[in-house]
Homo-oligomer: A and B are copies of this chain.
Amino acid sequence: MPKRVTILDVARETGFSVCTVNRALTGKPHIVPETKERVLEAARRLGYTPNAIARSMGRESLRISVIYPDKWPSHFSALIEGVRNRLSELSDYRIEAVIKEISGFVDGTNFLKAVDESVHDNSRGVIFAPVAAYRNREEIFQALAASGLPHVAIGGVAEVSSQTLCNVRHDSLACGRLAGELLGLALPATAKTAIFIGRKTTADHKLKIEGLSEELERHGMNSPIVCETLDDPKMAFPSARVLFSEHPDITGVFVGTENIAGVLKYLEGAKKSGEVKLVATGISEAVVKGVADGLVNASIHQRQRLQGRLAVDALVKFLDGGEKPPSEILVMPQVLLRENFKEKLE
C-alpha cells in the first residue's frame, strides 16, 4: 500500500517546517506569499490530502450552538433529534454542542438572546430553526449576520438571509408531487380531490399545492380543492365537514401535517371511513395509527432527522476544513406505506 502523504512529507520536500507547511495549507496568516506558493505546489505535486481525524485531534474542541423553539414537537423535536444524534456521533471528533431550546413562538426575543449567548459562550457556529411566524425574523437574521458566526438553518423555511451559510430543508414541491403521484395511481382521471394545508401563503404550503396540482394534471385530473386550516389542527374537523358537504364526491385527499386526526374523525362520523384515498404527511402517532388501520394509504415523510444530520455535517465541514456547503440542501421526502413505516426512520 502506498503510504499516504502527510504534512511531514511536504515539509521535507520543501525544506520548511511542518509548522510553516501547516500555515500554508490552512491559509493562516504570517507567511510570505512565495513560501506559501511553494508549499502549496509541493502539496499538490505529492498528492497531499489532509487527514481530518488528525486535524480534530490537534485542534481544540469545536463548540456549536443549536437554537430552536419549544413548539411543534413533531417537527422541531425531530429536527433537533437528528442534530443531536449526529453531534453525539461526532463527539470523538471533539465537537461539542450547546443546545438552546427557546420558548415563545411569535415573539422571538428569546431567540435573539440565544444568538447573543452563542457569541459569548465561545461557540464557533450556529444551527438554528427559523420560524416563519416570528415577527422579528429579520432582526434575528441581522443578529446572526452581525455575530460573524457561520450559521445554518434547518426545517423548511424557504427564505433565509444571504449571510446564512446553508439552508437545509425538505423539498416541498416534491412532497406535493409525490402525494399527487399516489393519488393519481389510486384514482381514475375523473376523480375529485382536495388538500388540507395550513395557509396558502406560506411558501412551503404553496409549493405543496403546486406540486400536487402538477402531478394530478399529469394524470388528467382537476386541481385539488384547497382547505386552509390556518395552522390550527382543531380546524381540520369542521373544515372537513364543510368540504365534504359541499363536495360529497371527493375521493382523494392530501392531508398536511397535524390535520389528519380531524379528517379521519369526520370521515368516521360520516360513515365514509375507507371510501376516500388519503395521503398524509409525517410520522405522527395519528398517521401511524391511520396507516395501521388501513385508513391512511400512504404518508410523505420529510425526514427531519436527516435534515438535522445534514445541517451538522455542512457546518462541521465548513468549520473544520473550510469546505463551503451549497447555499441550499434540499431533502427529498420519503414515501411511506404500511410496510416501510416499520423502518427505523432517519
Contact = CB atoms under 8 A, between A and B. Distances in A.
Interface in A325-346: 332-340, 342-343
A57 B92 CA distance: 12
A1 interface: yes
A339 B297 contact: no
A139 B257 CA distance: 55
A9 interface: no
A344 to B, nearest CB: 8
A1 B178 contact: no
A339 B57 contact: no
A131 to B, nearest CB: 27
Contact of A335 (B63, B294, B340): B340
Contact of A337 (B61, B178, B186, B336): B178
Contacts of A177: 338-339
Contacts of A332: 340, 342-343
Interface residues of A, number: 38
A51 interface: yes
Interface string A93-130: 10010000000000000000000000000000000000
Given A185-B186, A185-B297, A334-B334, A340 B178 contact: yes
Contacts of A294: 218
A60 to B, nearest CB: 11
A32 interface: no
Contact of A53 (B93, B335, B342): B93
B57 A181 contact: no
In this complex, which of A63, A181, A277 has the most chain B Cβ atoms within 10 angstroms of its Cβ? A181
Contacts of A283: none
A331 B119 CA distance: 43
A92 B53 CA distance: 6
In this complex, which of A92, A215, A297 has the most chain B Cβ atoms within 10 angstroms of its Cβ? A92
Contacts of A195: none
Nearest to A63: B1
Contact of A338 (B91, B181, B334): B181
Nearest to A337: B181
A152 to B, nearest CB: 19
Contact of A57 (B54, B298, B333): B54
Nearest to A332: B343
A178 B297 contact: no
A288 interface: no
A301 to B, nearest CB: 11
Interface in A39-67: 51-54, 56-57, 61, 63
30 contacts: A1-B61, A1-B63, A4-B91, A51-B92, A52-B92, A53-B92, A53-B93, A54-B57, A54-B92, A174-B339, A174-B342, A177-B338, A178-B337, A178-B339, A178-B340, A181-B337, A181-B338, A181-B339, A182-B185, A182-B337, A185-B186, A185-B297, A185-B298, A186-B186, A218-B294, A332-B340, A333-B340, A334-B340, A335-B335, A335-B336
Closest 5 CB pairs of A and B: A332-B343, A335-B335, A177-B339, A53-B92, A181-B337
Given A185-B297, A334-B334, A335-B335, 4 more contacts: A54-B57, A174-B342, A178-B340, A182-B337
